Amino acid sequence: MRPGMTRPLDLPQDALRNLNRLHRILEAAKLLNSTIDLSEVTGIILRLVRDEVGVDRGSVFVVDRERQLLRSMVAQGVDDQEITLPIGQGIAGAVAATGEIIDILDAYSDPRFDSSFDPILGYRTNDIYCMPIVNRNGGIVGVLELMNRTRPFTEEDAGFLAGVSVHVGLALENARMHKEILEKRKIEQELVLAREIQQNFCPELPESFGGVQICGNIEMCDEVGGDYLGYFPLQNDRFIIMIGDVAGKGIGAALVMSSLHATCRALVRHVHALEHIASILNETFVETTAPQTFITMLMMLVDPKNRRVHYIRAGHNHPFRISPSGEVKVFEDVGGPPVGLLSRLHYSREIVDLDPGTAIVIYTDGVSEAENALEEQFGMERLSSVMRSYAGASAKEIHAGIRHALKGYVGDSPTHDDSTLVVLKLPD
């Protein structure tokens, strides 16, 4: 045979071996595609490899890129304990970092080998064959580590491992994506439930109480939110309205809001003085939440018979009042720090006498700070202008007018904060 020419495949044994190898790879691919459960897939991988190439133990590690770790999905002889390794550390970590196959006949002679696991597991690692598992794009998604072969590896064994590795990578990737979809779906279902629970927290406001018209609601920007609205009817046609805005977003703020809801209900039943309610709330959240967690609040006691409101503003937006003639003013006061920020605070109430037919607007900063597509805020002046245009209207009409103006201003831009809006109107 001339130099440079390849030897033709003229031996039946060669063809038979190649055919058998292809058959085994196809059978392995079928098994790997029989499930999309990540634990089952990794278990199938190890059974296939052990039966085919002859090793005593094996481990399948999945790459966690976010944390730069390898996590063992199946590690034989470890009693279901998860093994985690930083990428780049140990034999498996080195393979995950470089993508190169490592074949060591004497594990203890290799400085990359971490021998600390052997005494813990009661095992003696003699030799290691470690290879990367790659996805369809060539990215490393896992590592297969085989220990203590029962016979020397042949070229056929290496060919089988190389051939089946593509299918292993696809199976791992599909199983990982399936697991992520299931976890995402579970989180979405839990968030829907949490949203329903939060919506049940929002009180059913009467259209009027003691002759005062009432209209209010909360609009959440996410599945769960950190805005609070409380309504508590009292004797002599009086009632308390509370609104609050928990610092932060998401589930953390929602949990604090839930605690606020329960605490306020318990307090108002036994403590009617606004100063005491505010002080107890403050101490409770100083003691039970992180230092960076606080709540801006407005607590308002409405006394329609005396045409008077008593209120405490704890770091919250100033409420507005609208006279029947259309004059819009803010409630001017010093106020106090947000609830949960500083210990041993003493809040003082403000008392304001109101003319007949006066409307009051209280809100969270999700109203005044709503942004349009240019990231410009709705602002206090625009809010005042809208309120002025609804002078003399009912509480329901004022509320609807402000919400309509907000919706028109924001348009299709995503909202980044919850917004609570309550309108009260005294009888004429």
**% of the chain beyond a pLDDT of 90:** 50
* CA–CA separation, 128 and 145 (whole Å): 7
* CA–CA separation, 350 and 59 (whole Å): 69
* CA–CA separation, 413 and 407 (whole Å): 10
* pLDDT tens for each residue of 86-129: 999 999 999 999 999 999 999 999 999 988 888 877 889 999 99
Contacts of 396 by beta carbon, 8 Å cutoff, 6+ apart: 207, 213, 215, 423
* pLDDT tens for each residue of 328-374: 999 988 889 999 999 999 999 999 999 999 999 999 999 999 999 99
What Cα–Cα distance (Å) separates residue 250 from each residue in 171, 191, 282?
A: 34, 10, 22
* CA–CA separation, 164 and 26 (whole Å): 8
Domain residues of the chain, as ranges? 15-180, 202-425
CATH number among 3.40.190.10, 3.30.450.40, 3.40.50.150, 3.40.710.10, domain 15-180? 3.30.450.40
* CA–CA separation, 241 and 387 (whole Å): 20
pLDDT range class, residue 183, cuts 50, 70, 90 = confident
Quote the pLDDT of residue 203: 87
CATH number among 2.30.110.10, 1.10.599.10, 3.60.40.10, 3.40.980.10, domain 202-425? 3.60.40.10
What Cα–Cα distance (Å) separates residue 161 from each residue in 21, 127, 156?
A: 10, 17, 9
Number of helical H runs and strand E runs in the chain = 10, 17
Phi, psi for 377 (deg, rounded to 5):
-80, 150
Query: pTM of whole model > 0.75?
Result: no
